[in-house]
Amino acid sequence: MHEVDMTKCLLLALQQWREEQASPQAMVDTIHLEVGRFTCVEPEQLRFTFQAAVAGSWLDGAQLQIEEIPFVGRCLACNGTYSPTPEGAYRSPCCDHPLEEIVSGRELRIRSIDYRTSLQSAVESQALSLQRV
Amino acid sequence: MHLPLEDRLGMNLLAANQHQAEHNREHFEAWQVLALNVMSSPGAGKTALLERSLPQLAQEWSMAVLEGDMTTQLDAERLEAVGIPVVPITTGRSCHLDAAMVSGGLKLLRQRLNPNQLDLLWVENVGNLVCPAEFEVGEHHKVALLSVTEGEDKPLKYPLMFRQADVVLITKIDLLPYLPVELEQIRRNIHSINPNASVIPVSALSGEGIDVWHAWLRSARQNTLQPALAMA
Ligand SMILES: Nc1nc2c(ncn2[C@@H]2O[C@H](COP(=O)(O)OP(=O)(O)OP(=O)(O)O)[C@@H](O)[C@H]2O)c(=O)[nH]1
Ligand SMILES: [Mg+2]
Ligand SMILES: [Zn+2]
Ligand SMILES: [Zn+2]
Ligand SMILES: [Zn+2]
């Protein structure tokens, strides 16, 4: 269910990108997303709700390219990294340490957008920098 | 044409929500109000806890509640009965509160009272263990509840909520004698996913543990708002 809200967030971010960075005629080919495994977002669900939400809008036809980022923790006892699992209670298998530092897995970001400024033009790609709305 | 992508680049999907949350937090700081986001699965006892805590806390603090509910105003009515100002926020199809909804609630609240008089603002989130953890509303602290009837494994099954929480209240401990559940195992699981969380077992029914919870609130209010006070 919350993928609907996540899709709204995504559309908001894309709208803002169009207003601030791209030309108003920008046509989006592909949106490259990073989705961490330790977030509440299911990539399949997100793709599905996104396709339904953009039908008929300026984003109709745009594809979501989702890269899943693994959940990685750092064991503060030995400084090694590991994959926290529910079966292992998210503790480090090396030293049985609780999950302290999260190295990756919390990502929810638009990495870049492939778009063209007119039907004829070549596809350009723009990396987005972390910015305040 | 592909531009080189640096790892730290990328627009956060939740940027708009985070921006609004920071805006809400600026209001809380200006009003010197400690804001708490109370979250749990449906029925873990958020409203019951507030019904127990608010009459006692009202002796020392002025408070208000923003009450998130998908469709009804039942919880808001329960808390109004306690004599605390409550603003209901019906979220409709959305299964969590977001920062914009809370901002809307704050506008309504300001029509009823002067927020500078408040000491504490409670936000009761929609009963849901998943996405409320992902949507900040400007709170100073996240409060997660887990009732003993939900079982020991829930911190492991819904890790994000328990990871994000600053304090976890294990609720309904008056029921422990009737359940094959180990309080210590719940605590261990919470601390495995979030070693820094404060864990406080409570019962809204018997009142057990409520004084420990209120002591946590007092120190949270002092430690969170004191730097701002010193600067003022
Ligand atoms: N035995 C016992 N029952 C409790 C306690 N706290 C709450 N309950 C019961 O649990 C049920 C749900 O409590 P609520 O306070 O409505 O839970 P909630 O988390 O606010 O629920 P939603 O807002 O609908 O998600 C009610 O029937 C309460 O009476 C407690 O400490 N002990
Ligand atoms: Mg409730
Ligand atoms: Zn280790
Ligand atoms: Zn404002
Ligand atoms: Zn939700």
Residues lining ligand 1, Cβ inside 6 A:
B 40, 42-48, 75, 127, 171-172, 174-175, 203-205
The CATH superfamily assigned to B5-225 is P-loop containing nucleotide triphosphate hydrolases (3.40.50.300)
Q: What is the mean pLDDT of residues A89-118?
A: 94
Which H helix or E strand runs over A17? helix A2-20
d(CA B155, CA B188): 10
Total residue count of chain A as it appears in this document: 133
| pLDDT score recorded for residue A101 | 97
Between chain A and chain B, the number of residue pairs with CB atoms below 8 A apart is 114
Domain borders along chain A are 1-10+26-69+106-133, 71-104
- The preferred substitution site among B46, B54, B69 for testing ligand 1, maximizing ligand atoms within 8 Å of CB, is B46
The distance of A50 to chain B (nearest Cα, Å) reads: 13
User: Is the Cβ–Cβ distance between A17 and A49 less than 8 Å?
Assistant: no
Give this complex's ipTM.
0.86
Q: Write out the two tokens for B159.
A: 């890790």
| pLDDT score recorded for residue A27 | 86
Residue A21 predicted with pLDDT over 80: no
Q: Write out the two tokens for A81.
A: 């990294």
User: Which pTM value belongs to this model?
Assistant: 0.91
- CATH for the stretch A1-10+26-69+106-133: 3.30.2320.50
- The preferred substitution site among B38, B47, B168 for testing ligand 1, maximizing ligand atoms within 8 Å of CB, is B47
Most confident of A118-132, B89-103, B150-164: B150-164
B159-217: pLDDT as tens digits:
999 999 999 999 999 999 999 999 999 999 999 999 999 999 999 999 999 999 999 99
User: Is the Cβ–Cβ distance between B128 and B42 less than 8 Å?
Assistant: yes
Say which amino acid occupies B55.
Answer: P
For chain B, what is the radius of gyration of the CA atoms? 18
Q: Which of B56, B6, B41 is nearest to B157 (CA)?
A: B41
